[in-house]
Chains A and B, each alone.
Chain A
């Protein structure tokens, strides 16, 4: 009996985590370059001690568990007309220098700081190509960016944006602030590089889909809760109150 209870509990727990995930995804509907998390319900193994019991083996339906992965599908491109808004229409990530080393982002809403460096909205310098990647210094003037990442100021070539791709993007981890940590994943040149100037990539979350998921999650949660209640009242209750009653 308790095993069924555990199963329903695991179902509730994984759905409440999925709700947490949906809440964070939806909260970031307006974050440029945001990549949503998708949760998959995974079948995990049942607690070990139950498998020893022959009866439990027969009813041994496994417990459900939530796993997350980042959905790297592209977001919609929105024209802003601002020259320092860059969008990666193909694959790849911008490389930025943070206090903790090199990180990656798809949010191309850049500015120029007081020292003339191209920086993200959090102030992290954006790196350009070179023998060793270094911050792109632009200074004043009209900035134009070509589809391949060449940055010119007033028609003088100032450098080339460093854009990299990953063969196994699933190894990337989110750090918040639109940044990704590549960890052990190996960077390689992007297969399909196309930069758009005056354009931002919006979040890849589809609100309609997210709402449908939300409803599914809530109803699933409700169902599990009802299962637990009915276990307590109808089954356990009957066992104790009726079957065990001594007349």
Chain B
């Protein structure tokens, strides 16, 4: 019965993590470029009380034995990279990656972080920066007085300068891909950092070598599916309830044992 108490507790603990994860997903339904995470569970260890095939007597064998599991644990919550819906904004500095790939963003400490959020702005020097002010890498600067900023599918940024009829290219946006993008490390603010399991970033021109293309004037909304998360919430809550029932059952059985001698 002690095992039952711990198994039930392990299940409840894992479900708490799952509910925390659902809460985080649901809180980010309006975050541009947000990718939902999904909790995965696995069974813990097993205790073999009677091993199958051990002899019950000199001539018979126990056919199945007795193995009792010791509960569960939340093993991972991987990033689900499903594409989010596109929302048209008509803002020239709003970009969407159609397909795989990440924008490269330079952090204040010089490190490169990766992001799917394409809501860019101009800083006072005319550089393209993220909503939190980190510049794109390689940097793209829009000269003063330029109008009609266009971003082509392959990442070429062109502008029209005053007094000129033709638009001029002023920079290129490059994207990075990973062997295992689900293994990236979330650091908040829509940013991800590479890890040993994600592999090294491979940078390239959008539209080449399987990298996605860019689309201007739209944003990729969060890929959290509210209905799915609600279903997960119900399932997790009910399973939590079941765990607490088991705890109560074990508790009552203990009571029964304690009452054996009065």
B261 / chain A contacts, CB cutoff of 8 Å:
232
B259 contacts A177, C-beta separation under 8 Å: no
- Distance, CA A112 to CA B45, complexed state (A): 25
With A67-B50, A114-B180 as contacts: A26 and B246 at CB distance below 8 Å: yes
Is B252 engaged at the interface, CB distance under 8 Å to the other chain?
yes
Residues 1-37 of A at the B interface (beta carbon under 8 Å): 12, 15-17, 19-32, 34, 37
- Interface mask (B62-92 → A, CB under 8 Å = 1, otherwise 0): 1111111111100110101010000000000
The winner among A39, A69, A116, A210 for most chain B CB atoms within 10 A is A69
Is A133 engaged at the interface, CB distance under 8 Å to the other chain?
no
Q: How far is the CB of B102 from chain A (nearest CB, A)?
A: 13
B256 contacts A222, C-beta separation under 8 Å: yes
Q: Which of A17, A111, A140, A214 contacts B68 (CB 8 A)?
A: A17
- Interface mask (A117-156 → B, CB under 8 Å = 1, otherwise 0): 0000111000000000000000111000000000000100
Binds A, one of B133-141, B145-153, B237-245: B237-245
Is B27 engaged at the interface, CB distance under 8 Å to the other chain?
no
Q: Which of A67, A113, A174 contacts B64 (CB 8 A)?
A: A67
Is B126 engaged at the interface, CB distance under 8 Å to the other chain?
no
- Interface mask (A205-247 → B, CB under 8 Å = 1, otherwise 0): 0010011001001100110010011001000000000000000
Is A90 engaged at the interface, CB distance under 8 Å to the other chain?
no
- Distance, CA A15 to CA B183, complexed state (A): 43
Is A173 engaged at the interface, CB distance under 8 Å to the other chain?
yes
B80 / chain A contacts, CB cutoff of 8 Å:
82
Is A92 engaged at the interface, CB distance under 8 Å to the other chain?
no
B179 contacts A67, C-beta separation under 8 Å: no
Q: Which of B4, B43, B57, B195 contacts A23 (CB 8 A)?
A: B4
- Interface mask (B229-262 → A, CB under 8 Å = 1, otherwise 0): 0000001101100110110011011001101111
Is A158 engaged at the interface, CB distance under 8 Å to the other chain?
no
- Distance, CA A25 to CA B70, complexed state (A): 9
B18 / chain A contacts, CB cutoff of 8 Å:
30
The winner among B62, B72, B238, B257 for most chain A CB atoms within 10 A is B72
- Distance, CA A163 to CA B252, complexed state (A): 44
- Distance, CA A32 to CA B42, complexed state (A): 7
Main SS of chain B's interface residues? mixed
With A23-B7, A121-B40, A176-B46 as contacts: A115 and B78 at CB distance below 8 Å: no
With A26-B243, A29-B239, A175-B46 as contacts: A20 and B72 at CB distance below 8 Å: no
A19 contacts B249, C-beta separation under 8 Å: yes
A122 / chain B contacts, CB cutoff of 8 Å:
42, 75
A171 / chain B contacts, CB cutoff of 8 Å:
52
Is A47 engaged at the interface, CB distance under 8 Å to the other chain?
no
With A28-B72, A176-B42 as contacts: A229 and B179 at CB distance below 8 Å: no
User: In chain B, what residue has the closest Cβ to A39?
Assistant: B66
Q: How far is the CB of A53 from chain B (nearest CB, A)?
A: 21
A21 contacts B72, C-beta separation under 8 Å: no
B68 / chain A contacts, CB cutoff of 8 Å:
17, 20-21, 24, 37, 68
| Nearest 9 A/B pairs, CB to CB | A27-B11, A24-B69, A23-B4, A114-B199, A23-B7, A20-B3, A31-B41, A27-B72, A225-B256
List residues of chain B with CB under 8 Å of any chain A CB. 1, 3-5, 7-8, 10-12, 14-15, 18, 38-46, 48-50, 52, 57, 62-72, 75-76, 78, 80, 82, 100, 177-180, 182-183, 195-200, 202, 210, 235-236, 238-239, 242-243, 245-246, 249-250, 252-253, 256-257, 259-262
